Amino acid sequence: MFCLVGSSPPTFNLRLSPHFTRIKNGRGLKVKLKLNYQAENDPLLQIAIHNASLRFQETLHPLFVDQYAGCFAPPDFKVGLQSCSDHYRLATKFIDDKLLSMLSTNDELRQVVLLTDGMDTRPYRLRWPPSTIIFDASPERVFQTAAQKLDDAGARIPRSCMFIHVPLESCDMQHVLCSKGLNGNRPSIWALQGLPLRTLVNFEEMLYVVSSLAVKGSLFIGELPVWPKEAEVGMKSNTKTWMNQLFMRNGFKVETVSYDNVAMSLGEKLTLGDHESILFVAEHLRFSDAQMDSWRREFQRIEEEGDEEGFEEL
C-alpha cells in the first residue's frame, strides 16, 4: 500500500453555487465551468483541484484542450489571470502524445494504466483506439468526487472502450489490477502524473507493481517527483545516474526527457528554470510475472512429454 499526500497545494475556499459559466478559448472552443463545490478539507482533493485548474487555464491558449477540467476549478478561480505552469503543461502534452502515439503504432497495445490524482480527464478527452481498456489508479475519495462532476458535465468514455478505477488505497495493487482485468501476458503502457506519493520508497513499491505486471518491452512514462535529498537514502547529485540506478533495480531502462527539448519540439519559446519533477520514459526489460508463469508451465509440459516418450522407449 502506498503512502499518500505530497507537497501542500494552494488552498481553495470552495463555496456552493449551482451556476454554469461558459467561455471561449483562443481557438473558439467552448469550455464548461461548473461551480458547485462544497467546502472540503482534504489535501488529496486540494492537490487534484489545483492540477485540474492548471489544465483548465491551459485550455484558453492550448497546447492541449481539456474541456472537462473546468468541472473541478474552484469558484474563485480567475480565468486568464493565473498562468499554467510551463513544466506541467509541457509534461501533460508530452504524456498525451506519447500515449496516443504508442497505441496508434501497436495494434496489440490496448491496455493503459494511468497513475493519477483522481481527476485525470484523459479517459474522457483523448481519442482512444477502439477496444482500449483504461485503468485509473488513484485515491478513491477524489476519484468518486471527480466521477460525479464529470457525469454531471456529460463526460463519456468512448463506447468501444472500457474504463476501470482501481483505488490507490488497495492493500494489494497488483492483485486488484489483475482481478479487474489487467492481462500480464499482453502489452500495456503506464503513465504517471499527479499520483500523490510521499517518499521514494513509495515510488519503488509502485515500480515493483509495474514491473510485475508489464510485459517485456512495455513503456512507463510520466513525471517523477523530486523529494528532498536529505530525506532520501541513496539520492545522488547526478540525476541521470540516480535515475538509471533507481529504474534498473526494477528492470527498466530509463531516459530522462528535457522539458526544454519538449518545448522546442512543440515550437514553444519558453524560459524554463529548475523544476520539482523529472520527465521520463522507461522501457521494461524483464518478463512480467504472468509471462514467467506461462513459460514455467510450457517448460513443465515439455519436460513431462519428454519423460513420457522416454518411458515408452523403455
Residues in Cβ contact with 110 at an 8 Å cutoff, skipping those fewer than 6 apart: 103, 129, 131, 132, 133, 186, 187
What share of residues in the chain are helix, strand, coil (percent, to 5)? 40, 15, 45
CATH architecture of 88-294: 3-Layer(aba) Sandwich (3.40)
Closest CA to 203 of 181, 229, 223, 180: 223
Contact 44, 118 (CB under 8 A): yes
pLDDT at position 58: 61
Residue with the three cell numbers 520539482:
276
**Per residue in 247-306, pLDDT tens?**
999 999 999 999 999 999 998 887 766 677 899 999 999 999 999 999 888 878 787 766
Which has the closest alpha carbon to 87: 257, 234, 241, 202?
257
Give the residue-averaged pLDDT of 200-210: 93
C-alpha to C-alpha distance for 291 and 288, rounded to whole angstroms: 5
Whether pLDDT at 162 is above 50? yes
Using the predicted structure, report yes or no on whether residue 220 has a pLDDT greater than 90.
yes
Give the pTM: 0.79
Helices 43-58 + 140-152 axis angle, to 10? 40
Cα distances (angstroms) measured from residue 32 to each of 25, 66, 71, 206, 208: 11, 10, 7, 35, 39
Altogether, the residues listed in the chain come to a count of 314
**pLDDT of amino acid 87:** 87
